[in-house]
Amino acid sequence: MERLVIAAVIVLFVGVLALVNKRRRVPDAPTQRRFVAPEQLDRADFPRPEAPWLVAVFSSATCDGCQLVIQKANVLASDDVAVADIEYTAARALHERYHVDAVPTLVIADAQGVARAAFVGPMTATDLWAAMAEAREPGSTPTADGCQHPSK
């Protein structure tokens, strides 16, 4: 009988420890959705598919930050760089085709439509221009250590 009481006390003690430990445990954070930019674009879907570069801005008329991103992108327009504003209500099919679910989303694509740089959300003009320069000539922009490294 004495052994049975000791066993019951031990089981009760372990149960209490397990309960206390379970309550102390911090639950995992909820899963966070991550917005991604397209990795490949069909250049025929956008104006001037013959241009060597495309800057596509997926935007919305109700997005306050989109107009600033479009203004920054328009500065890049040239004979070599086509800039396209893909506004949601006017081009909903393109937003759906490329699974764009956050605006502004900006994609810099080469002649084959391969995304060479992308931003989801607003960016500085400096970051955009640096991304365009790096896409056009890899190794041309300084790295985080402040040095320019030759292309590999």
Domains of the chain: residue spans and CATH: 43-136 (3.40.30.10)
Q: Report whether pLDDT(147) > 70.
A: no
- Among residues 126, 82, 86, the alpha carbon closest in space to that of 108 is found at 82
89 CB-near residues (< 8 Å, 6+ apart)? 60, 61
Mean pLDDT for the chain overall:
89
Mean pLDDT (whole number) for 8-32: 76
What is the pLDDT, as a whole number, of residue 150?
45
Q: What is this structure's pTM? A: 0.74
